[in-house]
Amino acid sequence: MSLLGNATTSLRILDDEIQISDAHYFASGGFANIWRGTTLTDTNGNVKIRLRREFIIWSDLSHENILPIYGTFTHEPIGGTGVVLPFRPLGTISTFLETYPTADKLALIYEIAEGIRYLHSKDIVHGDLTVGNILIHQKGTEHNPQYIPQLTDFGRSRIIDKKGFTTNIFTAYSRRDYTLSRSFPPEVLHADNPQIKLLTKESDVYTFAMVALEIVTGKQPFYKRTDSQAVFLVMSGTTLSKNDYAGPEAPQLTERFWNLFLMKCWSTSPEGRPSIEKKYFTIPMPDSHAALAISLDTGRWLALENRRRTYTI
């Protein structure tokens, strides 16, 4: 059976169970418009309805740090068939941190790393890791809440070596999509290079480090530059400066965190970036439940460790 067949039969058809709350969508992205809706069979079942070009990859994923997919829904007023996802009222990780600035940011980072590790273990590349594509799911109790980051928006994802599931980044997005592109590695932005056709695990590692930087500092990559200037700097090999991000509001941004984690993930050579499948020693991070870990042998592999669990990227 084809991959499409497997994915389609595993999804529930929810046409009779979903009611759209508003006539107009409340958000829009590169691959989808988003509507707020409710399930008719569950009064607590807030959902998002997303019109997507492709949801095959997403439908086969099951992990705490991946936003689950409930099924499909067809409603002509919103444009046809959409994908039904749980609604996360806390919003994206950046919105969450504006509300909860004292949250354990390193803990959030290694939870995100666990989601990436899961994808990469299945030879799936996310392809669009940004703070806007990470939602926060609240679990636990009112007095002991747990905040779980969940990766979402798999419109750029690809399955490695699966025909029909690989996408040239610039066939889906314009080269002038600078707001997103400022987080991409140089080999992806060099669209004129005929050798660069596909997003890779290594490009995910690069963008993950950009996400980590934005989480601990609240500042996007090359925040002092316009979008087009930032893209030009990345393509020309210019690296970020720690001095532009360090300060009392970012105590997690230590020399070790910058040099042994971020800078290694930002290697201009994809082969020089950390992988997700090795063993490590740990470097404790001050005032946090997390630790950074780098291979003693090569300095190339790294992991993030929780005192309760160990996460590897």
DSSP 263-312: HHHT-SSGGGS--SS---EEEEPTTSSEEEEE-TTTS--EEEEESS-EEE
How much is the pLDDT for 162?
57
Closest by CA to 64, choosing from 151, 145, 122, 153, is 151
Beta strands in 153-248 (DSSP E): 158-159
How much is the pLDDT for 90?
94
List Cβ neighbours of 174 (8 Å cut-off, separation of 6 or more). none
| Crossing angle of the two packed helices 105-121 and 201-217, in degrees rounded to 10 | 170
Q: In order of start, what are the domains of the chain with their CATH numbers?
A: 3-86 (3.30.200.20), 93-273 (1.10.510.10)
List Cβ neighbours of 191 (8 Å cut-off, separation of 6 or more). 169, 170, 175
Closest by CA to 115, choosing from 153, 144, 88, is 153
Please, are residues 35 and 14 in contact by the beta-carbon 8 Å criterion? no
Amino acid at 132: G
How much is the pLDDT for 302?
47
Query: 3-state DSSP call for residue 217?
Result: helix
Residues comprising the chain, all counted: 313
10 Å CB burial of residue 154 (0-12, 13-18, 19+) is: buried
**Would you tell me how many other CB atoms lie within 10 Å of the CB of residue 25?**
18
Q: How far apart are CA 116 and CA 6, in angstroms?
A: 23
CA atoms within 13 A on the CB side of 134: 30
Tokens 């790294």 belong to residue: 302
The predicted-structure confidence for 41-65, as pLDDT tens digits, reads as follows 554 445 444 445 456 777 788 999 9
**Would you tell me how many other CB atoms lie within 10 Å of the CB of residue 296?**
10
Q: Which helix (H) or strand (E) holds 205?
A: helix 201-217
Closest by CA to 55, choosing from 43, 41, 66, 64, is 66
Closest by CA to 216, choosing from 242, 182, 237, 239, is 242
How much is the pLDDT for 36?
54
pLDDT tens digit at each of 313 positions of the chain: 223 333 444 555 444 454 555 544 444 444 445 445 555 455 444 544 444 545 677 778 899 999 998 777 765 555 556 677 888 889 999 999 999 999 999 889 888 988 998 998 888 888 889 999 999 999 988 889 999 999 988 766 666 655 545 444 444 444 444 445 789 999 888 866 544 556 889 999 999 999 999 999 999 999 999 988 998 999 888 999 999 999 999 998 988 889 878 898 899 988 888 776 654 434 444 455 555 554 433 434 444 545 444 444 4
Closest by CA to 27, choosing from 76, 95, 73, 74, is 95
Q: How far apart are CA 52 and CA 5, in angstroms?
A: 17
Q: Residues 277, 272, 214, 160: what is their CA dihedral angle, to the nearest 10 degrees?
A: -60
Biggest CA–CA distance in the chain, Å, is 58
How much is the pLDDT for 154?
75
- Would you say the pTM of this structure is higher than 0.75? no
